[in-house]
């Protein structure tokens, strides 16, 4: 009986090569600081391929990079929290995953959305796309928090994006993946404060 073997890894398509190369360059140099020639060289594809797959050139490619990064973040979030039984467990697993991603993968040494669409001096539509992606992240956080019993899932979700972005900046500044671990205790403290806070009494309006 022959042993089963894992199939060989799939080769990247041309759009995937362009997105992978551009994502890395945008995170290191920013949108404005990255030239088309650099992207093509890193991806190993001819110039015509860029405009065939991304008719808007570098702008369309940057939007695609941010979209892919946004979807990867959603998958990371779902993997971390989908099977968690408590809010504390979910936050621990999520923070550990972010720390590993920062330490092991150059593509995650910065927010894939902020570094591509906000920090690089792109056109106004970049900010609009960034808001849309962040809204998707916030909604995903809120859904998990609601299932895990947070008293104000929406508020905790908004805080989560703020804390994660701050941790990313600190980790990059100090070149220290462990800074991503700070996400869990900070959000746990916020959750305890929110969940333990008595609801404000309703004030009846005067007739």
3-state secondary structure 125-188: HHHHHHHHHHHHHHHHHHHHHHHCCCCCHHHHHHHHHHHHHHHHHHHHHHCCHHHHHHHHHHHH
Q: Does residue 194 carry a pLDDT above 70?
A: no
Per-residue confidence (pLDDT) for residue 143, from 0 to 100: 96
Per-residue confidence (pLDDT) for residue 9, from 0 to 100: 57
Per-residue confidence (pLDDT) for residue 20, from 0 to 100: 93
Which among 21, 77, 73, 9 is positioned nearest to 45, based on CA atoms?
21
Q: Does residue 200 carry a pLDDT above 50?
A: no
Per-residue confidence (pLDDT) for residue 10, from 0 to 100: 67
| Mean pLDDT, rounded, for 48-58 | 94
Cα 13 from Cα 19, distance rounded (Å): 10
Neighbour count for residue 1 (Cβ, 10 Å): 3
| Mean pLDDT, rounded, for 109-126 | 83
Cα 89 from Cα 96, distance rounded (Å): 11
Top-tier CATH class for 66-196:
mainly alpha
Please, which pLDDT band fits residue 199 given cuts at 50, 70 and 90?
Answer: very low
Q: pLDDT by residue (tens digit) across 143-173?
A: 999 999 998 999 999 999 999 999 988 888 8
Neighbour count for residue 31 (Cβ, 10 Å): 24
Q: pLDDT by residue (tens digit) across 66-92?
A: 999 999 999 999 999 999 999 999 999
**If you average pLDDT over every residue of the chain, what do you get?**
86
pTM of the model: 0.82
């Amino acid at each position: 009986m022959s042993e089963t073997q894992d199939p060989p890894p799939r080769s990247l398509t041309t759009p995937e090569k362009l997105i992978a190369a551009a994502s890395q360059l945008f995170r290191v140099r920013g949108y404005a600081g990255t030239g088309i020639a650099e992207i093509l060289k890193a991806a190993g594809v001819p110039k015509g391929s860029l405009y065939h797959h991304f008719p808007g050139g570098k702008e369309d490619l940057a939007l695609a990079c941010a979209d892919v990064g946004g979807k990867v973040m959603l998958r990371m979030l779902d993997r971390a929290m989908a099977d968690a039984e408590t809010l504390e467990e979910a936050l621990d697993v999520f923070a550990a995953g972010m720390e590993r991603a920062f330490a092991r993968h150059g593509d995650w040494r910065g927010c894939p959305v902020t570094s591509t669409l906000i920090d690089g001096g792109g056109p106004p539509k970049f900010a609009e796309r960034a808001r849309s992606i962040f809204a998707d992240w916030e909604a995903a956080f809120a859904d998990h928090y609601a299932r895990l019993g947070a008293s104000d899932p929406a508020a905790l979700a908004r805080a989560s994006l703020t804390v994660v972005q701050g941790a990313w900046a600190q980790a990059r500044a100090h070149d220290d993946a462990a800074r991503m671990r700070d996400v869990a205790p900070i959000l746990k403290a916020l959750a305890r404060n929110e969940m333990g806070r008595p609801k404000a009494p309703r004030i009846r309006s005067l007739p």
